[in-house]
Every structure is written in structure tokens, then in C-alpha cells.
Amino acid sequence: MVAERFTVDLDKPLVFQVGHLGEEYQEWIHQPIVCVEGPRFFQSDFWEFLTRTVWWAIPTIWLPVVCYVLSISARKGLTFPQIGLIVAFGVLTWTLLEYTLHRFLFHIQTKTYWANTAHYLLHGCHHKHPQDGLRLVFPPTATAILLVPLWKLLHLVATPATAPAMLGGILFGYVMYDITHYYVHHGQPKVPTFKHLKKYHLNHHFRIHDKGYGITSSLWDKVFGTLPGTKAAQKKS
């Protein structure tokens, strides 16, 4: 007896449907629907509201926090050049976190009901509806929760003076990541660097989703061998 395939009803809230796709879930999310208006996730208006974030909320909320934590390091005696170096290292650390999370968590393979459901909320929704402008950046509430253990970890591995600057660098890197991510989806870049980033990231969405995990940079894709090949190279192989 052959089980009937589950079909997602796009006119109904999606979150508690996608888990039923089972092993077909991964194939489903990589068949993108290109539409600026996103789907409804939850029946509840409250939970639905929490899934939507305007892009400008990220710099508005977090850049003042970056300035505040950097001022802590300054008050504890660090010079501006020292703070600048630590911030640069923090930004570099963020790019590695960005790559690692995207590759190993956001693209984890799932097939059970709850694993599919959790993955859809985390990243699957973005691949299914890549132009959903209100679900491109990370919700500030979730970011605030994650910052607590990060703050504690940094105080374990760094000095009281350097830990705030390190947090500021990582947080600044995150802000630039979210802004860049939104821009490569919805902007029309004229500068070659950003034109390349847009092409590079949309290639990840629409051509080869298991390569090109970097958003703000392709550095770690080059380091770890996940740089996508060109179409010409693929044709030759």
C-alpha cells in the first residue's frame, strides 16, 4: 500500500504543515517561490508578529549597543587603536560564525516532523520564499537571548577590558551581515563588490545550495573548499 504524498496548502499557515513532508521536505524548500509578499506562518497574530522584522530595526537596535560596549572597554583603559584591532578580530570571528552556522546548522538535513518544523523556522522558510523581506533578518528578541551566553563566554576567555570590545566586534559583524543579506536580496547594487556578493548569494539560492555559504564574504568558502564552481567548469566536468 503506497502512502499518499502530503501536499502543503500555501493558503494556510505553513509552520505546522511542513513537518508532514518528511523526507520530501528538503526537496520542497529548494523549490523557491519568488514573491515579495511572504506566507503566513501561524494562525496566532501574536506569534505571526514575532516572525516579522523590518531590516532597519537591526542597525537601529544593535549599533547603539555596539557603541556602548566599546565605551566600556575605553573606560577600562584600552586605547582606540587597541579597540580597533579587537573589533577587527571580532568582525573576522563573526564571518567564521556566519559561515559555520550557515553550513552546519542552517543546512542540516532533516526528515522528522519536529526537525523539519524547527528547520523551516530557522532557515528553510528563507530558501522557500527568498524574497520575503520581513523574514530576512534575525528577530531582535532571539538575538538578545543568544547574546547572554556569548557575553558570558567572552568573559571566560578574555580580560574584563577586552571582552566588551570583542563583543562589539562580533555584534558589528552581525549587523553588517544582516544588512548585507537584505541588500543582496532586495537592492540593485552598482558597485562591483556588491554586484558580486548579490550574484554569489543568489547562486546559492537558485543554482547550487550546498556551496557558497558566506554572505558578507567568500573567504571561508575558499578556505574550506565550498566555493561554487562556474557554469563553464561544471559543463566541462
Q: Is the pLDDT of residue 42 over 80?
A: yes
Q: Are 127 and 205 in contact (CB under 8 A)?
A: yes
Tell me whether residue 180 is in a domain: yes
Residues 6+ apart with CB under 8 A from 71: none
Non-local (6+) Cβ contacts of 225 within 8 A are none
What is the per-residue pLDDT for 45? Answer: 96
Q: Is residue 213 part of a domain?
A: yes
- pLDDT interval class at 102 (50, 70, 90): very high
Query: Could you give the percent of the chain with pLDDT greater than 90?
Result: 92
Residue 237 lies in a domain: no
Number of domains in the chain: 1
pLDDT tens-digit profile of 171-211?
A: 999 999 999 999 999 999 999 999 999 999 999 999 999 99
Mean pLDDT of 103-127: 96
> In which band, very low, low, confident or very high, does the pLDDT at 36 lie, cut at 50, 70 and 90?
confident
Task: Check: pTM over 0.85? Answer yes or no.
Answer: yes
Please give the grid coordinates belonging to residue 160. Answer: 574584563
Contacts of 58 (CB under 8 A, 6+ apart): 137, 138, 140, 175, 178, 179
Query: Is residue 187 situated within a structural domain?
Result: yes
- 109-143 exposure pattern, b = at least 16 Cβ within 10 A, e = fewer: ebeeeeebbbbbeebbbbbbbbbbbebbbeeeeeb
Q: Note whether residue 195 is domain-resident.
A: yes
169 in Cβ contact with 84 (< 8 Å):
no
* pLDDT mean across residues, the chain: 93
User: Is the residue at 111 inside a domain?
Assistant: yes
Q: Each residue of 4-27: pLDDT tens digit?
A: 688 999 999 999 999 999 999 999
Greatest Cα pair distance in the chain: 73
Q: What is the mean pLDDT of residues 89-95?
A: 97
The DSSP code sequence of 25-57 is HHHHHTS----SSPPP--SSHHHHHHT---TTH
235 domain-assigned: no
Full residue range of the structural domain in which residue 215 is found:
14-228
Which among 27, 56, 237, 61 is positioned nearest to 143, based on CA atoms? 61
Would you say residue 147 lies in a domain? yes
